[in-house]
């Protein structure tokens, strides 16, 4: 432990060497993904997807025309707990009503173990509704997003009181990798991104029902360091069109006790720095953003920090990035505050989920 | 209610033989509201029931919610406003909601008012000061006799000066066990009732130039600061730029009640090691570097136990300088950002960072300024580097 620490310390301060460290960590993250694939003995031939080193700048979209306002209100401004899901076997978008009945019977059965429960019978404690959240799909290959909501009546409420939504979740695929989607056998539907909000117990019940019904697997979707850096850069880039107010990043350094650093940068200064590291200076909206640009943006921020405090942030972990447009935490929590960038953020997360799926 | 409401001072005496004194005062205190109540009844004013008005009930409820269940019994005992019989009738194992109902009934029975409930709050806060945000202020330019101000005189002066400035305020002053003077103040808006819910707490260690304040509204700030300056016989007071939840930590940092750092404590450049085990050059070099870092970390933060300060904030408005980024370096405008360090023990973390190499050594002046200057809020600009380095 001491030795590895020394290697960090003896690193010269020049930005060239910090860049080397960044590159390495990035490469490791991609390699570990391939490690999973090769361990399963599957040919990665049909699965060429990997983490993009270049992506389009997020375009603000007026999504309100495509998605109903209720659905939109549900998606934005709440923090979602993210998971990845392997492709669902024999899932039909046309049978959502019957799925909802089965799921509510399942929840009722689990909640009152030992008693018989009739499928489709009157469940007075939990009511499940499943619906298609239309308008989110970007390409023809993307399966439509599915929304699941669990409603319940408070314990001592009267019969005529309205039900309260106690849990909501969705399964989504936005701008999914077309090659991968095409390579799937006929009976599989790929909705790799799962977001949930509400009681932890209900989350695990819904997940276990989906797991047994569609023979799929759930795993935690961590938003890794590279993705967080991407988000920091992409959100800063958005400041050209909509005010991000600030760019806030949080690091944790491995000191004893752990040292947390919150670094909040004024939005227009962050944008100025971002513009200075862009290769295509002509602020071309269509230009792609390269990973090198993201890296030098973060390097600029950390070197400014180092100049004042002599603390090397790359020794710690970036674990949260937030702006007025949303926030992302390393533990797989994501909040999207602006509907204009909903699609672009969900595409990025779909990509992360695809990387996690063991192929 | 618009009249001057300066309640009598009260002292908590932990020694058992003084309990009687306290009980006497209970008796006399409960007699007074009794009288006033009968007067109210005669006048036909419709008070709901008993003499517990809504603010008192609200304060009591909030207080019971705040005090952890296991501490409630001991705190009520120290309060001493309920007699032993009443305290024994309380069932502390039930839910807090039910307990609050019982307590309310008992307080009504003993005809306790909002002032008495405020005493309970003060007892709890005095013993658990780490629940609020404390701001430190520094007194400057002491007058003659500033060092001779003792408790009675301070109390007199404080009340006297306060009375000159504001009328609608209630004050309680007491001396805590560790020589600190604690002041609880409830302010009233104009002629409206005193708001006992958002009380200001002031802690002052006599004969020191520091005052710690919590829950002070910007409106009352100039008033209180003026009163404090006058009653401690100083001429000026300023914000010490130090705040935190742990009162003990910020106090220790300012009053230097922790192991001091003396540069002479670290005199030695490392003595030459035995050269016979010569082939491990690298190891030696690393050991030297590591020892050097430990020494530097010690120089900045000392080697002993450090006050558990929890955060430090830097507002940076400095130019962006980076040899690899020409565009930004050429800009005249400063790069605006705010950096907040936080930890369960910030100084401990920073010392560890320096000795393990996460932070470069010698420790950056901005970081070593925290213990050196006893501050945890800094505004850094390019124009006045002397103010911050």
pLDDT in tens, B41-87: 333 333 344 457 788 888 999 999 999 988 888 999 989 888 888 88
Residue in chain B nearest A256 by alpha carbon: B349
Domains (ranges, CATH) in chain B?
16-127 (no CATH), 130-255 (3.60.90), 263-268+283-387 (no CATH)
CB within 8 Å: B289 and A309: no
Q: Does B352 have pLDDT greater than 70? A: yes
**Residues B260, B252: contact at Cβ < 8 Å?**
no
Share of chain B above pLDDT 70, in %: 79
CA–CA gap between residue A150 and residue A202 (Å, rounded): 8
- CB contact B380 to A (< 8 Å): yes
CB within 8 Å: B336 and A269: yes
CA atoms within 13 Å, Cβ hemisphere of A228? 26
Share of chain A above pLDDT 90, in %: 48
Alpha carbon of B368: minimum distance to chain A alpha carbons (Å): 10
**Residues B210, B254: contact at Cβ < 8 Å?**
yes
Contacts of A308 in chain B (CB under 8 A): 314, 316, 318, 339, 364, 366, 380
Helix pair angle (A291-309, A15-39), 10° resolution: 130
Alpha carbon of A89: minimum distance to chain B alpha carbons (Å): 47
Beta bridge partners of A259: A253
Contacts of B336 in chain A (CB under 8 A): 265-266, 269
Alpha carbon of B385: minimum distance to chain A alpha carbons (Å): 12
CA-based nearest residue to B381, from B316, B326, B320, B325: B316
Q: Tokens standing for B83? A: 């007699």
Interface test with A, best of B326, B344, B359 (most A CBs within 10 A): B359
* Mean of all residue pLDDT scores within chain A: 81
| Buried b / exposed e along A240-259 (16+ C-beta atoms within 10 A) | eeeebebbbbbbbbbbeeeb
pLDDT in tens, B203-217: 999 888 999 999 999
- CB contact B346 to A (< 8 Å): yes
Residue A322 burial (10 A CB sphere; 0-12, 13-18, 19+): buried
Question: Which residue's entry shows tokens 């929890």?
Answer: B310
CB within 8 Å: A310 and B350: no
Contacts of A263 in chain B (CB under 8 A): 337-339
Q: Does A234 have pLDDT greater than 70? A: yes
A341-350, B185-194, B289-298: which has the minimum mean pLDDT? Answer: B185-194
- CB contact A269 to B (< 8 Å): yes
- CB contact A283 to B (< 8 Å): no
- CB contact B348 to A (< 8 Å): yes
How much is the pLDDT for B26?
32
- CB contact B287 to A (< 8 Å): no
CB within 8 Å: A260 and B336: no
CA–CA gap between residue B288 and residue B280 (Å, rounded): 12
Q: Tokens standing for A16? A: 């060239």
Between chain A and chain B, how many beta carbons pairs sit less than 8 Å apart? 132
DSSP string for residues in B321-347: --TT-HHHHH--S-EEEEEEEE-SSHH
**Residue A11: DSSP 8-state:** S
User: Model confidence at A280, in pLDDT bands (50, 70, 90)?
Assistant: low
Sign of the Cα torsion A205, A208, A214, A217 reads: positive
pLDDT in tens, B99-156: 999 999 999 888 888 889 999 999 999 989 988 999 999 999 999 888 888 889 999 9
Alpha carbon of A156: minimum distance to chain B alpha carbons (Å): 18
- Give the CA distances from residue A49 to residues A25, A260, A301, B162, in Å, rounded to whole numbers and listed in that order: 19, 35, 30, 73
User: Model confidence at A81, in pLDDT bands (50, 70, 90)?
Assistant: very high
How much is the pLDDT for B245?
92
* Mean of all residue pLDDT scores within chain B: 79
Residue in chain A nearest B341 by alpha carbon: A261
Q: Does B200 have pLDDT greater than 70? A: yes
CA–CA gap between residue A76 and residue B107 (Å, rounded): 48
How much is the pLDDT for B91?
86
CA–CA gap between residue A241 and residue A267 (Å, rounded): 12
Of A6, A269, A276, Cβ closest to residue B357: A6
CA atoms within 13 Å, Cβ hemisphere of B183? 30
A21-25, A53-57, B194-198: which has the minimum mean pLDDT? Answer: A21-25
Q: How far apart are the first and last CA of chain B?
A: 52
Interface test with A, best of B287, B325, B363 (most A CBs within 10 A): B325
Q: Tokens standing for A26? A: 């990035």
Of A2, A263, A316, Cβ closest to residue B337: A263
Q: Chain A 199-258, CB below 8 Å of chain B: which residues?
A: 253-258
pLDDT in tens, A120-158: 555 567 889 999 988 888 888 889 999 999 998 776 667
B311-318/B377-381 β-pairing: parallel
How much is the pLDDT for A92?
92
State the alpha helices, DSSP H only, in chain B.
19-43, 54-66, 69-79, 84-89, 96-109, 114-127, 151-165, 221-231, 247-255, 281-301, 326-330, 346-356, 365-373
Residue B7 or residue B322, greater confidence: B322
CA–CA gap between residue B191 and residue B200 (Å, rounded): 19
pLDDT in tens, A288-327: 888 899 999 999 999 999 999 999 999 999 999 999 999 9
CA-based nearest residue to B125, from B202, B220, B58: B202
CA–CA gap between residue B72 and residue A338 (Å, rounded): 46
Collapsing DSSP states into helix, strand and coil, what is residue A86?
coil
CA-based nearest residue to A329, from A220, A241, A255: A220
How much is the pLDDT for B32?
38
| Buried b / exposed e along A186-199 (16+ C-beta atoms within 10 A) | eebbbbbbbbbbbe
Contacts of B331 in chain A (CB under 8 A): 272
Which H/E stretch holds residue A99? helix A96-111
Helix%, strand%, coil% for chain A, nearest 5: 40, 25, 35
CB within 8 Å: A10 and B356: no
Residue B332 burial (10 A CB sphere; 0-12, 13-18, 19+): exposed
Interface test with A, best of B358, B363, B369, B380 (most A CBs within 10 A): B358
Collapsing DSSP states into helix, strand and coil, what is residue A145?
strand
CA–CA gap between residue B307 and residue B172 (Å, rounded): 29
Question: Cα dihedral angle (A44, A49, A52, A55), rounded to 10 degrees?
Answer: 160
Residue in chain B nearest A265 by alpha carbon: B337
CA–CA gap between residue A329 and residue A349 (Å, rounded): 12
CB within 8 Å: B328 and A257: no
User: Model confidence at B283, in pLDDT bands (50, 70, 90)?
Assistant: confident
CA–CA gap between residue B21 and residue A283 (Å, rounded): 79
- CB contact A25 to B (< 8 Å): no
A76-85, A264-273, B71-80: which has the minimum mean pLDDT? Answer: B71-80
How much is the pLDDT for A309?
95
Residue in chain A nearest B335 by alpha carbon: A269
Contacts of A259 in chain B (CB under 8 A): 341-343, 346, 349-350, 352-353
Sign of the Cα torsion A93, A95, A98, A103 reads: negative
Collapsing DSSP states into helix, strand and coil, what is residue B248?
helix
Q: What are phi and psi of A153, to 5 degrees?
A: -100, 130
Q: Tokens standing for A263? A: 């670094």
């Amino acid at each position: 432990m001491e030795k590895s620490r020394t290697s960090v310390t003896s690193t010269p301060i020049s930005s060239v060497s910090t860049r080397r460290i960044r590159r390495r960590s990035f490469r490791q993250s991609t390699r570990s993904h391939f490690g999973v694939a090769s361990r399963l003995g599957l040919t990665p031939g049909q699965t060429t997807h990997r983490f993009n080193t270049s992506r389009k700048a997020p375009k603000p979209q007026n999504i309100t025309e495509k998605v109903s306002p209720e659905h939109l209100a549900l998606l934005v401004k709440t923090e979602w707990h993210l998971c990845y899901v392997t492709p669902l076997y024999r899932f039909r978008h046309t049978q959502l009503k019957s799925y909802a009945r089965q799921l509510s019977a399942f929840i009722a059965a689990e909640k009152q173990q030992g008693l018989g429960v009739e499928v489709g019978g009157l469940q007075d404690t939990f009511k499940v509704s499943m619906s298609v959240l239309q308008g989110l799909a970007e390409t023809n290959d993307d399966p439509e997003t599915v929304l699941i909501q669990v409603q319940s009546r408070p314990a001592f409420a009267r019969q005529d009181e309205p039900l309260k939504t106690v849990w909501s979740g969705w399964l989504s695929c936005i701008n999914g990798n077309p090659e991968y989607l095409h390579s799937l056998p006929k009976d599989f539907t790929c909705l790799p991104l799962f977001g949930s909000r509400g009681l932890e117990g209900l989350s695990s019940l819904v997940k276990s029902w989906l797991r047994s019904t569609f023979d799929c697997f759930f795993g935690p979707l961590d938003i890794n360091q590279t993705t967080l850096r991407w988000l920091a850069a992409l959100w800063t880039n958005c400041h050209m069109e909509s005010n991000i107010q600030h760019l806030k990043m949080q690091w944790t350094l491995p000191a004893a006790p752990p040292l947390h650093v919150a670094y909040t940068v004024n939005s227009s200064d962050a944008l100025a720095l971002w513009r200075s590291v862009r290769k295509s200076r002509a602020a071309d909206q269509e230009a792609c953003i390269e990973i090198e640009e993201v890296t030098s943006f973060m390097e600029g921020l950390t070197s400014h920090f180092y100049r004042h405090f002599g603390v090397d942030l790359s020794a710690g972990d970036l674990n949260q990035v937030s702006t007025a447009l949303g926030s992302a935490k390393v533990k797989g929590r994501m909040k999207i505050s602006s509907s204009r960038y909903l699609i672009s953020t969900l595409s990025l997360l779909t990509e992360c989920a695809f990387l996690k799926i063991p192929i | 209610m618009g009249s001057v409401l300066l309640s009598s001072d009260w002292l908590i005496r932990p020694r058992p033989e003084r309990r009687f004194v306290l009980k006497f005062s209970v008796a006399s205190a409960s007699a007074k509201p009794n009288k006033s109540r009968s007067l109210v009844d005669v006048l036909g004013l419709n008070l709901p029931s008993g003499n517990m008005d809504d603010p008192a009930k609200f304060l009591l409820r909030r207080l019971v919610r705040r005090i952890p269940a296991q501490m409630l019994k001991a705190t009520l005992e120290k309060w001493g406003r309920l007699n032993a019989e009443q305290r024994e009738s309380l069932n502390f194992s039930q839910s807090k909601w039910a307990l609050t109902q019982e307590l309310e009934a008992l307080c009504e029975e003993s005809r306790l008012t909002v002032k008495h409930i405020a005493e309970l709050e003060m007892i709890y806060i005095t013993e658990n000061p780490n629940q609020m945000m404390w701001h430190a202020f520094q007194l400057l330019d002491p007058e003659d006799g500033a060092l001779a101000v003792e408790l009675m005189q301070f109390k007199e002066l404080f009340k006297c000066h306060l009375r000159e400035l504001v009328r609608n305020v209630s004050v309680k002053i007491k001396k805590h066990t560790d020589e600190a003077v604690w002041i609880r103040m409830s302010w009233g808006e104009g002629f409206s009732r005193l708001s006992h819910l958002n009380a200001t707490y002031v802690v002052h260690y006599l004969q020191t130039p520091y005052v710690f304040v919590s829950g002070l509204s910007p409106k009352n700030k100039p008033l209180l600061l003026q009163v404090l300056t006058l009653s401690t016989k100083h001429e000026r007071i300023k914000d010490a730029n130090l705040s935190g939840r742990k009162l003990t930590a910020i106090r220790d940092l300012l009053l230097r009640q922790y192991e001091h750092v003396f540069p002479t404590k670290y005199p030695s450049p490392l003595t030459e090691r035995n050269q016979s085990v010569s082939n491990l050059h690298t190891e030696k070099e690393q050991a030297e570097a590591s020892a050097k870092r430990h020494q530097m970390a010690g120089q900045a933060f000392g080697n002993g136990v450090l006050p558990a300060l929890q955060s430090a904030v830097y507002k940076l408005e400095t130019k962006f300088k980076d040899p690899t980024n020409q565009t930004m370096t050429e800009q005249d405008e400063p790069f605006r950002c705010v950096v907040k360090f936080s930890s369960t023990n910030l100084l401990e973390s920073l010392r560890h960072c320096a000795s393990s190499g996460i932070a470069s050594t010698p420790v950056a002046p901005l970081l070593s300024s925290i213990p050196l200057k006893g501050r945890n809020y800094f505004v850094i600009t390019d124009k006045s580097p002397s103010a911050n380095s």
